[in-house]
Amino acid sequence: MAIFKGAGVAITTPFKENKEVDYDLFTKQIETQIAGGTDAIIVCGTTGEASTLTHEEHLDVIRHCVKVVNKRIPVVAGTGSNCTETAVYLSQEAQKAGADGLLVVTPYYNKATQKGLYEHFKIVAESVDIPIILYNIPGRTGGVNILPETVVRLCTEVENIVGVKDATGNISQVAKLMSLANGKVDLYSGNDDQILPLLSLGGIGVISVLSNVAPRQTHELCAKFFAGDVEESRKIQLDAIPLIDALFCEVNPIPVKKALELQGADRGILRRPLTEMEEEHAAVLKQAMKDFGIL
């Protein structure tokens, strides 16, 4: 059974002025997402600035999210690393914290062959008892790409590896993956501008940046498609494109934190090396939010 179906939010991690995690604000963000119809919360991913958190902070953020959500919707914890042993440690601790599933990114910097990727994910998966979604995002991992054959092999041979978040942007590769999948791969879009195309290829949802600021609309985009209302789903997807473009005009999560700040839901504070959004880009983002009806 899939960990979730529909729109999962790749939730941001809010910080105080002194750059410590703001757990009070984080609680409010979680409640806003649940009230907005979000189908799952993905914590400590790219959008959550996990790469700037210490291991202790990383796990504390996961624990806090699990506690606040309290089983109302699934919580998927990002626990990937370029070090297999670190990924095992984070994954085991996230399971102890009560996460419903894990999102494990391809190893970055040191890279790996397809054999190395297979062994890495298999070792991590065998260290826990909860389901795992592979995270394929070559643009963040030095070009490391889990090939369709490797994804299918992992989902077929390793019981608790259940799917993939595909952020390759390569529709042809996704089509090949799903042609080989034989119903064994839960496919989630990792790009907000490709939610509907991936759903049409057999995807079951999205792990979304957009959902941070538009949870209801992102949920409805998926729900309408599943209900057979493809035209309305398409309309939401296309109407959202200018906003999605604005949310990715600088490196994620700089724009989405600015968007949350504009909505009064975050202070917009980032940890270095991320910096404040350029004023001209912020102006475009603000207008796109107004046009989409979320500001």
Domains of the chain: 6-227 (3.20.20.70)
Residue with tokens 């440690």: 89
Is this structure's pTM higher than 0.75? yes
| 23 is an active site residue | no
At residue 102, what are phi and psi to the nearest 5 degrees? -130, 145
Mind listing the pLDDT tens digit of every residue in the chain (295 residues)? 799 999 999 999 999 999 999 999 999 999 999 999 999 999 999 999 999 999 999 999 999 999 999 999 999 999 999 999 999 999 999 999 999 999 999 999 999 999 999 999 999 999 999 999 999 999 999 999 999 999 999 999 999 999 999 999 999 999 999 999 999 999 999 999 999 999 999 999 999 999 999 999 999 999 999 999 999 999 999 999 999 999 999 999 999 999 999 999 999 999 999 999 999 999 999 999 999 999 9
Instruction: Give whole-number Cα distances, 74 to 1, 18, 149, 183, 254, in Å.
Output: 13, 31, 28, 22, 26
Per-residue model confidence (pLDDT) at position 18: 96
CA dist., res. 172 & res. 113, Å (int)? 21
- Residue among 5, 108, 118, 135 flagged as catalytic: 135
Question: Cα separations (Å) of 58 from 20, 26, 79, 81?
Answer: 12, 13, 9, 12
The pLDDT value given to residue 182: 94
Residues 6+ apart with CB under 8 A from 142: 108, 109, 111
Bridge partners (DSSP) of residue 42 are 10, 76
Nearest Cα to Cα of residue 242 among 199, 207, 289: 289
Bridge partners of 78?
A: 103
Q: What is the CA radius of gyration of the chain?
A: 18
Closest CA relative to residue 28, chosen from 214, 271, 295, 266: 266
Show the tokens assigned to 138. Answer: 């070559």
- Kindly compute the dihedral angle of the four CA atoms of residues 95, 97, 99, 101, in this order, to the nearest 10 degrees: -20
Instruction: Tell me if residue 188 is catalytic.
Output: no
Catalytic residue (one of 165, 224, 257, 258) = 165
Angle at 92 between CA 25 and CA 7, to 5 degrees: 50
Q: Which residues of 65-83 are buried (b: 16+ CB within 10 A; e: fewer)?
A: bbebbeeebbbbbbbbbbe
In angstroms, how far apart are the furthest CA atoms of the chain? 50
**What does the block give as tokens for 73?**
């919707």
The SS3 of residue 266 is coil
- Cα–Cα distance, 216 to 33 (Å, whole number): 8
Beta bridge partners of 43: 77
* Encoded tokens for 179: 């042609």
At 81 the three-state DSSP class reads: coil
Check residue 1 and give its pLDDT.
72
